[in-house]
C-alpha cells in the first residue's frame, strides 16, 4: 500500500469525522431551540415539495423553490445570527482542561462538603442563593464585571454572601476549582418558552447559564427553600438534600473517571 493510498484513506476518514461532528452539534443545539426546530421542519417541507414538483413536473412551483433554495442559506444566516454567535462564543470559551479536573479526590470532597453545608443552612433559613461552578467552559465573561474574591471555599463565606442585606446577595457566586472567584455575578435569563412562567429570576438565570455553558448552577429558592440544580440545558427542580449531594458529586467528577465507574409540583416565584 503506497503512501498516497494511505493518505487518501486518512483524509476520507477525517472528512467523515468532521461532517459527523458538524451534524452532532447541529442536532445537539436543535433540540434545545424552538426556532431552529421550526426552521428545520420548514426545510424538510421544502425538500418534500421540491421532490414532488420534479416528479409531477410542476414548473411554476419548481421555479419558486429554486429561488427559495438559492437565497435560503443567506436567510438562515440572518435568522440564526444570535445562535451562530452563541456557538462561536462557546467554542472560544471552551478549555482543553476544565478547572475542576485539577482537583484531587480529597479537594473535591471538601468542596462538596462546604457547599452542602451552606446549601443546607440556606435551605432551612429560606435564603435565596445562586452558585455557579465552572467546568470545561470558561466563565470569564461573567467574572469580569463582578466583585472579585479569590477566596477558599467555606460554608460560612457562602452563607455570608447571600445573607441580606449584603449588597452582593442578589447576584450569583462563581466557583473555579476550590476557590470562590467572585460574587454579585449577573447571568442572562433563559428565554426557553417551555419553562414554567411561574419560575423566578434566580431559576431562569441558573437555566440560562446552563444553556450557554457547561457550568453547574445551584439554586436555593427564597420563597420555599427548595433546592435545584441546572446543568446541560435542564433544571433539576426541588431536589432532596441527598439527591442534591449525589448529583453534585457526580457532575464534579472529571470525565476521565467515567471509564472507571460502573454508575412536577409547586413552583417558586423567587426574586
For 39-86, write each residue's pLDDT tens digit.
777 778 888 888 888 888 888 888 888 877 777 778 777 766 766 666
Query: Residue range 30-45: average pLDDT?
Result: 69
Whichever domain contains 245, its CATH number is: 3.40.1700.10
Report the alpha-carbon distance of residue 37 to residue 40 in Å, rounded: 5
Burial of residue 82, with CB atoms counted within 10 A of its CB: 0-12 exposed, 13-18 middle, 19 or more buried = exposed
Q: Are residues 38 and 111 in the same domain?
A: no
Domain that includes residue 212, residue range: 99-260
My answer on whether 245 and 124 are in the same domain is yes
The reported pTM is: 0.63
What is the C-alpha separation between 271 and 251, in angstroms, rounded? 27
Q: What is the torsional sign of CA 78, 82, 83, 87?
A: positive
| Cis amide prior to 165 (ω within 30 degrees) | yes
Same domain membership, residue 116 and residue 45: no
Mean pLDDT of the 232-238 span: 91
pLDDT at 254 over 60: yes
Is 202 in a helix, a strand, or coil? helix
Q: What average pLDDT does the segment 166-179 reach?
A: 90
What pLDDT sits at residue 210? 92
136 belongs to a structural domain:
yes
Q: Are residues 45 and 129 in the same domain?
A: no
Q: Mean pLDDT lowest for which of 7-16, 210-219, 233-242?
A: 7-16
Q: Please state, in angstroms and rounded to a whole number, the distance separating the CA atoms of residues 121 and 78.
A: 48
Provide the number of structural domains found in the chain: 2
Among the candidates 31, 63, 93, a domain finishes at: 93
- How many other C-beta atoms lie within 10 A of the C-beta of residue 28? 10
* Ramachandran quadrant class, 225 (left: phi over 0; alpha: psi -120 to 50; beta: rest): left
Q: What was the pLDDT predicted at 139? A: 87
pLDDT band of 88, cuts 50, 70, 90? low
Give yes or no: residues 228 and 193 share one domain.
yes
Provide the pLDDT confidence category of residue 97 given band limits of 50, 70 and 90: very low
Mean pLDDT of 249-265: 60
Q: Give me the chain's average pLDDT, please.
A: 81
Residue 271 pLDDT grade (very low, low, confident, very high; cuts 50, 70, 90) = low
Return the sign of the alpha-carbon dihedral for residues 81, 84, 88, 94.
positive
Domain membership of residue 267 (yes or no) is no
- The count of C-alpha atoms lying within 13 angstroms of the C-alpha of 114, restricted to the half-sphere facing its C-beta, is 20
Residues 191 and 234 reside in one and the same domain: yes
Who has greater pLDDT, 62 or 251?
A: 251
Same domain flag for 28 and 112: no
Asked if the model's pLDDT at residue 100 lies above 50, the reply is: no
Amino acid at each position: 500500500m503506497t503512501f498516497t493510498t494511505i493518505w487518501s484513506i486518512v483524509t476520507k476518514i477525517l472528512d467523515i469525522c468532521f461532517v459527523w461532528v458538524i451534524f452532532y452539534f447541529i442536532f445537539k443545539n436543535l433540540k434545545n431551540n424552538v426556532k431552529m426546530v421550526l426552521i428545520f421542519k420548514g426545510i424538510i417541507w421544502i425538500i418534500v415539495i421540491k421532490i414532488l414538483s420534479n416528479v409531477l413536473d410542476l414548473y411554476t412551483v419548481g421555479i419558486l423553490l429554486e429561488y427559495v433554495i438559492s437565497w435560503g442559506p443567506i436567510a438562515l444566516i440572518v435568522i440564526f445570527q444570535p445562535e451562530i454567535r452563541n456557538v462561536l462564543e462557546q467554542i472560544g470559551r471552551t478549555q482543553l482542561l476544565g478547572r475542576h479536573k485539577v482537583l484531587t479526590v480529597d479537594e473535591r470532597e471538601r468542596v462538596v462538603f462546604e457547599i452542602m453545608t451552606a446549601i443546607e443552612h440556606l435551605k432551612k433559613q429560606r435564603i435565596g442563593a445562586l452558585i455557579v461552578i465552572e467546568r470545561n467552559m470558561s466563565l470569564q465573561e461573567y467574572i469580569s464585571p463582578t466583585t472579585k474574591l479569590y477566596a477558599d471555599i467555606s460554608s460560612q463565606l457562602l452563607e455570608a454572601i447571600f445573607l441580606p442585606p449584603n449588597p452582593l446577595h442578589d447576584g450569583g457566586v462563581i466557583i473555579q476549582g476550590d476557590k470562590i472567584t467572585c460574587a454579585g455575578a449577573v447571568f442572562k435569563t433563559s428565554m426557553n418558552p417551555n419553562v414554567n412562567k411561574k419560575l423566578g429570576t434566580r431559576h431562569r438565570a441558573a437555566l440560562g447559564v446552563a444553556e450557554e455553558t457547561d457550568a453547574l448552577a445551584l439554586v436555593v429558592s427564597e420563597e420555599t427553600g427548595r433546592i435545584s440544580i441546572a446543568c446541560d440545558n435542564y433544571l433539576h427542580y426541588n431536589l432532596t438534600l441527598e439527591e442534591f449531594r449525589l448529583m453534585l458529586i457526580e457532575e464534579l467528577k472529571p470525565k476521565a473517571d467515567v471509564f472507571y465507574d460502573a454508575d412536577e409540583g409547586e413552583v417558586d416565584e423567587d426574586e
